Amino acid sequence: MAFEKGKPKPVNGGRKKGTVNKVTADIKEVITKIVEQRIGELNADLDTMSPTSKWMILEKIMKFAYPTLSAQKIDADIKHDGKINITVNYTTPDKDGKAGS
């Protein structure tokens, strides 16, 4: 039964909370299949790109694989004596370029 203007919405009308839109689910499925089929090509293309271009592409596609984090506000009353100690240790790289002692 269609909704009629001026009458209240039926109690059980509409989709249930959390129900996925069928069109959205279908589109996501198609996109997933395309990406799965082209993943080897994507990796080959990334290997030929400059580091800047590579990271720009990865940044754009990562949002589809990882959730976006939101900023967190922390209220704190931090007390200190005003002194800050910083220690820097220098190491000499070994023959493989890794940090040594």
What is the model's pLDDT at position 1? 56
DSSP, res 22: H
Q: Say if 51 falls within a structural domain.
A: yes
Q: Say if 101 falls within a structural domain.
A: no
Number of domains present in the structure of the chain: 1
Q: Say if 97 falls within a structural domain.
A: no
What is the model's pLDDT at position 101? 53
Q: Which domain holds residue 27?
A: 22-62
Region 79-91: mean pLDDT is 84
pLDDT tens-digit map of 17-40 = 877 788 888 888 898 898 889 888
The encoded tokens of residue 93 equal 């790289």
Is residue 59 pLDDT above 80, yes or no? yes
Q: Say if 69 falls within a structural domain.
A: no
Q: Say if 56 falls within a structural domain.
A: yes
Kindly write down the DSSP assignment for every residue of 41-81, as one continuous string: HHHHHHHHS-HHHHHHHHHHHHTTTSPPPPP----------
Output phi, psi for 21, to 5 deg. -65, 125
Grade residue 80 by pLDDT with cuts at 50, 70 and 90.
Answer: confident
Report if pTM > 0.85.
Answer: no
